[in-house]
Structure 1
Amino acid sequence: MTRYHSNIEITEKDDTSPVTAADLAANAIILERLQALTPEIPILSEESEHTAWQQRQNWQRFWLVDPLDGTKEFIRQNGEFTVNIALIDNGEPVLGVVHAPALEKTWLADGETAWLQTSSGRDSVKVRTASIPTVVGSRSHPSPELATYVAKLGEHKMAEVGSSLKFCLVAEGRAQYYPRLGPTMMWDTGAGHCVAQSAGANIMQLDGSPLRYHREELRNPSFIVSV
C-alpha cells in the first residue's frame, strides 16, 4: 500500500504485460513466509521462475501464488487488485486467500466454507440465486464472447470489477455468473476458485468438466462460475 500511494514503478515483462515494484516486493514477502511455514511444499508464483512440468507433474501439493492480481487496476489506482494464495492438492484448490488491501477485505476458504473478513470481523458467505441474475465481467478484458454468452441468459444485470474480486462477488451472493471466456493463468484463479467453490458455486470448463490445476499448460481454458 505504501507503493500504491507513491509513484508506481512500472516495467514490462517479455509478453508486454505490466509489472510493478509492488508485484515483486509482495512476491518476495509471500515466498519467504510460505517457505518458512511449509518448507516441504513447493510454490508456483507468477513472479518467480516457473518450474518445468517435468518436475511439477510430481507435485501432489503446491502453493499457487499471484502476489498482485489486477496490476492494471493497481496502476489505475481504483482499488480493484488482490493478493491471491491457494493451496492445490491433487489438482484441486483446498485453501484459498484473496486479499484486497485497498478495500480492506479478505476472503478465506478451506474447501468447504468461505468467509469474508473485514475490520468488523469474519462472517461466512454463501452463494445466492436471484430472479434477475447479475453477471460479473472483467473491467480490463471485455470480450465479444461475453456479449454472446449473456445474450442467451435472458434478463440480467451486468457488473464490472477487476482481478479475482469477480469470484468473490459470486461467493458473497452479489453476482450469480462469472463467465471467463478470455485468457487467464492458473495463479489468477486458484484462490478465487477456492473461495467461490467453498461458498457453493460451480466452476466448470465449457465442456462441463471441472477446472483443475494439475496440468502442464499454465494458461487456463475458458470457464464459467455459476450458482
Structure 2
Amino acid sequence: MLQDVFLEAALEAGAVIMEIYNGGIDVSYKADASPVTIADEKAEAIILRHLEKAFPDIPVVAEESVAAGKVPDVSGKSFFLVDPLDGTKEFINKREDFTVNIALIEDGIPVAGIVYAPAKRVAYRTTVTGAEKLMIGDGGIATASPIHVREKGDALIAVASRSHNSSETEVFMREIGVTDFTSVGSSLKFCIVAEGLADVYPRFGRTMEWDTAAGDAVLRAAGGITVGIDNKKLSYGKVSQKEDSDFANPYFTCWAKYF
C-alpha cells in the first residue's frame, strides 16, 4: 500500500509539473535565494493530500511547507520527507533532470522511497525485496526491472552534480582514482549508482534531508550506502544541530560498494 500511495502521488504531482514545464515557468526566490516555482507548490500540495489521506498519523516534512514555517515534531517518530521538485534549476532551464521525491524515515533511516523524473518518464523505487526501475507510460507502469549496484571493477566511475559541483569534489575524485564521470541534476545521481551505472557520487555541498532521502532509500535498497564525512551512514531527522539548521545534511558520499 505504501508504495502504491507513493507512486500515485508522484505520478499526479509529475503530471502537474509537466503541464507547467511545457507552458510558462514563473520563478520567485525564497529567503535563502533558492528558486521556487508554482510547480513546486502545486506538486507538494498533491503529495501532501495523498499522504495525509492514507497515513494521517505520520508527520510530513516537506520542503515548501518548511520554508513557510510549517515544521512538525518528528522526535522519536517515523515521518515522511518530501521534495516535490528536486532540481528546480534544471526545471527552469528546460533540462530533464528534475524529480519528485517521497521517502519514509524510520529510526533515522530511509526505509522506503520513490524518485520520479516526469520529463524522462522513469521512476526508481524501493520494493519489499530491493529496488526497481519503472518506465512510465500512459500514467502508469509500462515496465518494471529490478536494479542493483555494480560490483567493483577496474575502472571507477563517478556521477556528480551538474549545478553544484565543487573543487573539493574534483579533488576527491582524483584522490580515489575516478577514471570517468558524468554530471547529472537532482536526486537522479543516487539512482544512477543504484542501477549500476556508476560507483560513487560525492557531494561536498549543502543539501537538505528532503533532497536526499528518497534517492538514498533507493540506493540502500539496491545494495549501496551513503556515508557522511565521519564515515557513518547518513541519518535523517537531524534537528537542533549546533552547526547548521534543522534537517541539513553534512557532506556525504554515496558508494555502490563501500571500500
Gaps of 5+ in 2: 1-17, 137-141, 240-245
Q: Supply the distance in 2 between the matched residues of 1:63 and 1:90 (Cα, whole angstroms).
A: 12
Query: Deviation at 1:214?
Result: 2.4
TM superposition score normalised by structure 2: 0.84
Q: Which of 170, 175, 194 is matched with 2:193 structurally?
A: 170
Gaps of 5+ in 1: none
Change in Cα spacing, 1:52 to 1:103, as seen in structure 2 (3 Å) is closer
Q: Supply the distance in 1 between the matched residues of 2:248 and 2:170 (Cα, whole angstroms).
A: 22
Give the partner amino acid of 2:87: G
Query: Deviation at 1:156?
Result: 1.2
Hey, what does 1:224 align to over in structure 2?
Answer: 253
Structure richer in helix, relative to its length: 2
Hey, what does 2:149 align to over in structure 1?
Answer: 127
- Could you list the runs of 4 or more consecutive aligned residues of structure 1 that deviate by over 3 angstroms after TM superposition? 49-53
C-alpha root-mean-square deviation of aligned residues, in Å? 1.4
Give the partner amino acid of 2:108: G
1:69-105, Cα deviation, whole Å (9 max, x unpaired):
0000000111000000000011111110000000000
SS of the aligned residue for 1:63 comes to: strand
SS of the aligned residue for 1:158 comes to: strand
Alignment length (residue pairs): 225
Q: Supply the distance in 1 between the matched residues of 2:59 and 2:178 (Cα, whole angstroms).
A: 45
Q: Supply the distance in 2 between the matched residues of 1:128 and 1:155 (Cα, whole angstroms).
A: 15
Q: Which of 50, 74, 78 is matched with 1:56 structurally?
A: 74
SS of the aligned residue for 2:205 comes to: coil
What percentage of residue pairs aligned between the two structures are identical?
A: 43
TM superposition score normalised by structure 1: 0.95
User: Is the contact made by 1:30 and 1:67 (CA closer than 8 Å) also made in structure 2?
Assistant: yes
Q: Which of 49, 70, 82 is matched with 1:65 structurally?
A: 82
Query: Deviation at 1:56?
Result: 2.5
